[in-house]
Amino acid sequence: MLERLFQLQAHNTNVRTEVLAGVTTFLTMAYILFVNPSILGETGMDKGAVFVATCLAAAFGSVVMGLIANYPIALAPGMGLNAFFTYTVVLGMGHTWQVALGAVFLSACLFFLLSIFKIREWIINSIPLELRSAIAAGIGLFLALIALQNAGIVAANPATMVGLGNLASPQAILAILGFFLIIGLEALRVTGAVLISILVVTGLSILLGVSQFGGLVSMPPSLAPTFLQLDIAGALDVGLISVIFAFLFVDLFDNSGTLIAVAKKAGLMRKDGHLPKMGRALIADSTAALGGSLLGTSTTTSYIESAAGVSAGGRTGLTAIITAVLFLLALFFAPLAGSVPAFATAPALLFVAVLMASGMAEIEWDDITVAAPVVVTALAMPLTYSIATGIAFGFITWVAAKTLAGRFRELNGMLVALAIFCVIKLSLF
């Protein structure tokens, strides 16, 4: 049955290898089980319900990807997208988390339609590669600021807006230790470095009396506080149009980049650069995002950590299925997730920020019409505390720089229209 479903022999793999790869992928991305409830919980959402929604969304998305596309790619609520959900849409713009879930649902519907009608390539090709890299780097810097705040390393300052926190506090010391631990373990290529760091910092925190231990295993908490609680009507408000598109664009770029990177590593990409079943993979991804919003979590997306499973030999959707099974088993570890303090997940956020900022290496810094919009985009996100605003600043600056430099022909209609829309949005709403 497994051979018929996943064509193991054709992909030069076997069940044992796929199981090992699935376990490896789970260990590298299991940190989201602790980080996602911590971030979304700041909106007022029930953390226990978010934990269950995270497990179920990851399991559902990974199964859909494995069965529809037969790719060794696992899914879960995306980093950066959950931060945008909490800190921009809810805490920044003042919308309820129910409305934010509605925006996630609508963006997933748009993503699904784009995948069905194959418009994705046109949109992605309309946005310059440098701007896409800048958006990823900006989200990384935004996550870094959140991480430093959660750790108490950065604090509010009335004179300079931000300043140095209390580095002598146990929270700051443990967070710094956790970050160094991740770096060391990653350098040694230890599987699950981020997860190990979270558990070690949490354990030390409990032993030192800094935080409380809530238990290890139990029956899963109720999903009722978040299940089908999305407010679609509220999300259709004119002021939220840019939010819906921001969810869509970030998910679109993140997915495309992840699919291409993992497929290359797995040897699934053809010599001409074409990725077979890309359409199926995107349909699986958008379906997972729809399911996640109904369960009660931010946008579900493909995880670059799937590359760890590929490195362990994963080549088919069976790898994703094994990862899904492990996410379902994780449902019984809700008390452990509830015991993890924010400063224990801060090192994970900071490490993800490091990975996302690496895209800046691809920028053509000698071209000022490229360098300026990139820097504006990346800096605007943490400094305005808004991913949507950073994206808007990037589009506007790119079009303005190219136009004033007499290089209007390098622009396309889609990009110009987006820039005009962003100007109107920033001016009126």
Strand extents, DSSP E, 267-340: 300-302
**How, if at all, do strands 161-164 and 154-157 pair?**
antiparallel
Structure tokens at 61: 């998305």
Are 312 and 12 spatial neighbours (Cβ–Cβ below 8 Å)? no
Mean pLDDT across 155-166 = 86
Q: Look at residue 250 and tell me whether its pLDDT is greater than 80.
A: no
Are 348 and 31 spatial neighbours (Cβ–Cβ below 8 Å)? yes
pLDDT tens figures, 325-342? 999 999 998 888 888 888
Are 97 and 90 spatial neighbours (Cβ–Cβ below 8 Å)? yes
pLDDT score recorded for residue 424:
81
Specify which residues 263 forms β-bridges with. Answer: none
Q: What is the pTM assigned to this prediction?
A: 0.78
d(CA 152, CA 173): 9
Are 373 and 394 spatial neighbours (Cβ–Cβ below 8 Å)? yes
The shares of helix, strand and coil residues in the chain, as percent rounded to the nearest 5, are 70, 5, 25
| Number of neighbours of residue 325 by Cβ within 10 angstroms | 16
pLDDT score recorded for residue 274:
62
pLDDT score recorded for residue 265:
67
Q: Residue 372 — pLDDT band, cuts 50, 70, 90?
A: very high
Largest CA distance in the chain: 66
Q: Look at residue 304 and tell me whether its pLDDT is greater than 80.
A: no
